[in-house]
Structure 1
Amino acid sequence: MAAESIRVLVVDDSEFFAQMTAETLTEEHGMEAVAEHSGTAALSRLADGEFDCVVSDYEMPEMDGLSLLRAIREDDPTLPFILLTGRGDEETASAAIAAGVADYLLKLEVVEDKQYGRLANRIESVVGQDRTRRKFESLVENSPDGIAQVATDGTILSANRAMADRLGRDPDSLVGEHLTDVMDAEPAQRRVAAVRRAVETGETEELEDSVDGRHYQTQFVPVESHRQRDTVQLVERDVTERVARQRELERQNERLEEFASVVSHDLRNPLNVAQSAMELLERPDDETEADLLAKVDRSLTRMGEIIEDVLTLAREGRTVDDPQRVTVEALATDAWAWVETGDATLSVTTDATILADTKRAHDLFTNLFRNAVEHGSTSNRTQSDDATEHDDPVAVEVGSLPGGFYVEDDGVGIDASGDVFEMGESSGEGTGIGLAIVWQVARAHGWSVELAESERGGARFEFTGVEPAD
C-alpha cells in the first residue's frame, strides 16, 4: 500500500509531541499528517475533511482518548483509531480493545525510543485492513448475487441490496428477521440446515434449489466474527437462465439422438449396399467410366465418413480438445472440392490462420457450400426476374471478420423466420441437417455463428470467437 496516500490526524495535548509526530510521519514516512491539541479541535478537523486514521494520546484534559473515540464512532463507526497510552497495564488494554481501537502503543516507546517507524507501520497496517474491508463491503453491496450474514439459528444479521430486492424488502428491515419470516418455510428450512452444517464442520456448504419458479445456487461460507454467535456468509446466485440453457441442450441432444438412429438404420444400410455393388462391378472399359466409378466410390466413402462424424457429434457432444493450425483458405478450398458446385464460383479473401479440428471444420464448410449451391442459385428466384438471370451460378465468398470469418453468397438468401440451425429446418426439399451440423461444429469449437444478409442479397454466415493460431 502506498504510504503517501494516507491522511493521518495526530491528537495530543502536548503541542510539541503532536507536531513532532505529524512532521515525522509526513517527512520520513510519506504520509500526510496534521496535528491537533485537543479532542474538541480534532472533532472539528474531522468534520472539515476526510482522514484515513486517527492517532491519539490516551490521557488528555477535558476529553481523553477513549472519549474522543466514542465521539468519533457516533459519526464514523469504522475509522481506524490508534491509541497511545502511558500505561501498559491490562486494565487499560482491555478498555482500549472494548472501545474498539484498531491498535494501541505505549507512548514512551514511541517518544523515548524514537520508534516512529513502528508507529508508521501500525498506521499502514490498520489503514490497509480498513481499505480492504471497504472494498469488500463495496463488492458485497454492489454484487448481483444475494449476500447475507446469517447466524446459526437462521437470524439475518445483514443483507445486501440484491438479497433485499430478491426478498422484496429493504436491507435494514431484514436485520433481525429469521429466514422463515421472509421466505417460504421449506426453502428457508433447507438454508437454516445448511447454515448449521457449515458452522459445525467449518466447511463451505452448497445448495441448489428452486424458489418461486427461480433456480438458485447458494453457498454457506463459515466466517470469523466478533459477534457472540457463529455466523456464515450466505451467497445466493440466480442460475435460472443457466438451468434453462441446460434443459434446452438436453432437449436438443434428445433430438440429435433420434436423428442418429435415423442415420444409423436408414442411411447406413443402402450405403453398404451401394459400396458392395461397387466392388462387384467389372473393370471399366474406358477412362471416362473409370473416372465416374472413382467419383462414385469417393462419394460413398465420404458419405460413410459424414455418417460417422454426425453420429459422434450427436451422441457424444464432444468439444474440440486438440485443435491444429490451419488456414481458412485451406479449409475452404479443400471443402469446395468435395461439393458438386457446377458452375458456382468460390473466392477466398482471407489469409487468416486459425486453430480448428480440420476434419470437423471441413464438414462445416462443405455444408455451407452445399447449402449455397443447392438453395442459393438465381434459378430459384421468382419468375419476374429477367430470364437470362435465372441460370446465373451462385458466387460464394469466404473472408475475415474481427475475431473470426464469414461465408456468404449472392443467391436468394434464407428465410430467417424460423431457427435455421434447428434440426429439420429447411427452405426447400433438403433434409434440414446441414445447418444444424454447422451450428454443432461451431459450438464444439467455442465459436458463435449468426445468419445475416450479404451485401448482394444472399445468405451470410458470420463466425466469431474464433481463436487465431498466432
Structure 2
Amino acid sequence: MSSINTIRTLVVDDSDFFAEMTADTLTQEHDIDAVAATGASEALDRLESGGFDCVVSDYEMPEMDGLELLDEIRRDNPSIPFILLTGRGDEETASAAIAAGVADYLLKLEVVEDKQYGRLANRIENVVSQDRTRKKFESLVADSPDGIAHLTIDGRILSVNPSMADRLGADADALVDRNLRDVMDAEVADQRIEAGRRVVETGEATRSEDAVGDHHYQNQYIPVDSYRESDTFQLVSRDITDRVERQRKLERQNERLEEFASVVSHDLRNPLNVAQSALDLLDVDGEENADLVGKIDRSLDRMGCIIEDVLTLARQGRTVDDPQEAELETLASTAWNWIEAEQSSLAVESSAELEADRGRVQDLLANLFRNAIEHNDGEVDIEVGLLPDGDAGFYVADDGSGVSEDADEVFEMGYTSSEDGTGFGLAIVEQVAEAHGWSVDLATSAGGGARFEVTGVDLRN
C-alpha cells in the first residue's frame, strides 16, 4: 500500500462488525487502504493524525449522526471527500446531505445486504480522483503568474489567486464578495464584467486585451459551473506589457526604416537618373571620350546596384510577424531562377517545410548563391540541405576556394572582396535571418569552400 495512487479511507460506523467488515472488504478486494473507526470520537481522533483521502460514514449513530460528524470534520479539514451511508432513502435526507456538502451518498442496506462493495469502492475512487484533480488545479492557480479570479456576472468576486490579489493591491480573502468595479479602474472592470456576462450567456470562452495604467493585459473569459453560485465565469489575466512595448519599438523601427528607404529611393535615385539621361545624350567623339563615358556608365550602374541593395537591406530587417509554411527546396529553386548562373549548378540534398516569409528567405538564398558565384572563378557547385539531427536549420555550401576572412567580418555592411560587389549581400542575409529570429554562421564546406549555416529555424519534416 505504498503507491502514491493508493486511496486511504476511514470507515466510520457505531457497529464494530460493520466498520471492520467494510474496511476489510475494501482493502482485500478493491485495493483501497481502508481503516475502521467505531463512532464519531474515534473517527475524529484518527483524522487528527492525517493521511486520509476520504471518509465513509454511517448516518444514524448515537453519539452524533453522520452530518454532525461532517460538520466537525470540516472545521479542520474543509475539503476531504465525505461519503454518507444512510438507511433512509427519502428526499429530505438526500437534500440535507447535499446541502451539508457530502461528496456522495448511498443506501446502507444496498451495500450490506446486496453486498455492493464494488459500487462503494467505485464511488470512493471517483470522489477521491475528483478531489485530487481539484487540488492539483488549485495548486496551479495559486502558483500561476497570471491573475485569476472567479466572478459572478454582476462583478462580485468569489475568489482570486495571489497574483490577481497583488495586482488589485489587497489580501485575497479581503477581496472576496467585493465588486470588481470597486477595486480597479471602473471602466476596465465594466468591460471585463460585460465580457464575462457574454461568455456565460453563450457558453463559449473568449479573449480580450486591455490596459490598466501603464500595464497591458491579455484576458481570457471562461464560463464556470459552480455549486456555490449560478452564472459565474473565470477571468485569467496575463500581463503582456513587455510584449506590447517590444511591438511598439519594432513598429517605430520599421517606420524609421521605411522613411530611410523612401529618402534613398527619392533623393538618390532621382539625381542618378538625371546623370544617366545626360550621359545618354552626350555626343561621343573619339576613343578616349568613349572610354570615359564607359567608366561613367559603369559607375552609374554600380550606384544603382548599391541603392537597390540599401533599400533591400532597410526593408529586410523588419521582424517577420506573419510567417507561413514553405518548402525549402521550392524556395531554393525559385531563388536560383533569379540569378545568372550559367556556369554553376544547384543541388538540394534534403528539404523540409519551414515557417518563414517566403519572399525574404528567397532573397537570403539568392544572395548566398550570388556570393558563391561572384567570389569564385569558373564553375561552382552549390548545395542546399538540412543540418544534421539536433540542429534545427539548413545550410548553403559551395565547392569553391572558401573564405579566408574572419567569419564576423564578412557580414559587415560594405564589406566585399569582389570588384563588382556592393558589400551588402551577406549583410542582407544576416538581416533576413535575424528578422526571423534565426542565426547565420560561416564555416568551411566538405569541399573546402564556404558553408553558411542558418539555425533556429522552425522545421516541419
TM over 0.5: same fold?
yes
Letter in 2 for 1:150: L
Letter in 1 for 2:215: R
Deviations 1:421-453 (A, max 9, x none): 9xxx7799x989656633442256x4433899x
1:39 deviates by 1.1
**Which residue does the alignment assign to 2:151?**
150
Question: Bigger shift: 32-41 or 256-265?
Answer: 256-265
1:96 deviates by 0.8
**Which residue does the alignment assign to 2:346?**
none
**Which residue does the alignment assign to 2:236?**
235
1:14 deviates by 1.6
**Which residue does the alignment assign to 2:326?**
322
SS at match of 2:198: helix
Letter in 2 for 1:211: V
Q: Which of 383, 408, 411 pairs up with 2:406?
A: 411
Is the 1:56–1:83 contact (alpha carbons within 8 Å) kept by the matching residues of 2? yes
1:93 deviates by 0.7
The answer as to 2:456 corresponding to 1:465 is yes
Query: 2:121, 2:407 → 1: CA distance?
Result: 76
Q: How does 1:24-423 map to 2 (within 5 A)?
A: 24-258=25-259, 261=262, 319=323, 321-324=325-328, 359-363=362-366, 365=368, 402-403=391-392, 410-411=405-406
Query: 2:189, 2:25 → 1: CA distance?
Result: 56
> Which portions of structure 1, spanning 4 or more consecutive aligned residues, are displaced by more than 4 angstroms?
259-270, 299-318, 351-358, 366-370, 399-410, 412-415, 425-428, 430-436, 460-463, 467-470
SS at match of 1:63: coil
Is the 2:310–2:424 contact (alpha carbons within 8 Å) kept by the matching residues of 1? no
Is the 2:313–2:431 contact (alpha carbons within 8 Å) kept by the matching residues of 1? no
Query: 1:87, 1:48 → 2: CA distance?
Result: 32
1:185 deviates by 2.8
Q: 1:245/1:3 Cα in 2 relative to 1: closer, same or farther (>3 Å)?
A: closer
Query: 1:364, 1:173 → 2: CA distance?
Result: 63
Deviations 1:188-229 (A, max 9, x none): 333333333344444434332211111111223221122345
Query: 1:220, 1:258 → 2: CA distance?
Result: 41
Query: 2:235, 2:144 → 1: CA distance?
Result: 13
Deviations 1:320-368 (A, max 9, x none): 5212259x9x9xxx99x98xxxxxxxxxxxx997766773442464699
Q: 1:155/1:426 Cα in 2 relative to 1: closer, same or farther (>3 Å)?
A: farther
Letter in 2 for 1:31: I
Letter in 2 for 1:441: V
1:414 deviates by 6.0
Letter in 1 for 2:11: V
Q: Which of 445, 449, 462 pairs up with 2:439?
A: 449
1:464 deviates by 3.4
1:319 deviates by 3.2
Q: 1:183/1:367 Cα in 2 relative to 1: closer, same or farther (>3 Å)?
A: farther
Is the 2:10–2:35 contact (alpha carbons within 8 Å) kept by the matching residues of 1? yes
1:63 deviates by 2.0
SS at match of 1:5: coil
Is the 2:317–2:432 contact (alpha carbons within 8 Å) kept by the matching residues of 1? no
Deviations 1:351-408 (A, max 9, x none): 99776677344246469989x99xxxxxxxxxxxxxxxxxxxxxxxxx9895458999
Letter in 2 for 1:359: Q
Is the 2:141–2:148 contact (alpha carbons within 8 Å) kept by the matching residues of 1? yes
Q: 1:248/1:366 Cα in 2 relative to 1: closer, same or farther (>3 Å)?
A: farther
Is the 1:4–1:31 contact (alpha carbons within 8 Å) kept by the matching residues of 2? no
Letter in 2 for 1:448: W
Gaps of 5+ in 1: 278-295, 339-350, 374-398, 453-459
Letter in 2 for 1:162: S
User: Given the two structures, how large is their TM-score scaled by the length of structure 2?
Assistant: 0.69
User: Given the two structures, how large is their TM-score scaled by the length of structure 1?
Assistant: 0.68
Letter in 1 for 2:365: H
Is the 2:151–2:158 contact (alpha carbons within 8 Å) kept by the matching residues of 1? yes
Is the 1:152–1:229 contact (alpha carbons within 8 Å) kept by the matching residues of 2? no
Q: 1:27/1:251 Cα in 2 relative to 1: closer, same or farther (>3 Å)?
A: same
**Which residue does the alignment assign to 2:283?**
none
Query: 1:369, 1:176 → 2: CA distance?
Result: 70
SS at match of 2:326: coil
Query: 2:52, 2:162 → 1: CA distance?
Result: 28
Is the 1:11–1:55 contact (alpha carbons within 8 Å) kept by the matching residues of 2? yes
Q: 1:244/1:51 Cα in 2 relative to 1: closer, same or farther (>3 Å)?
A: same
Identity %: 55
Query: 2:460, 2:329 → 1: CA distance?
Result: 6
Question: Bigger shift: 404-413 or 205-214?
Answer: 404-413
SS at match of 2:227: coil
Letter in 1 for 2:429: V
**Which residue does the alignment assign to 1:437?**
428
Q: 1:235/1:366 Cα in 2 relative to 1: closer, same or farther (>3 Å)?
A: same
Q: 1:194/1:466 Cα in 2 relative to 1: closer, same or farther (>3 Å)?
A: closer
Is the 2:81–2:128 contact (alpha carbons within 8 Å) kept by the matching residues of 1? yes
SS at match of 2:51: coil
Query: 2:200, 2:249 → 1: CA distance?
Result: 37
**Which residue does the alignment assign to 1:291?**
none
1:78 deviates by 1.1
1:169 deviates by 2.1
Q: Provide the alpha-carbon RMSD of the alignment.
A: 5.1
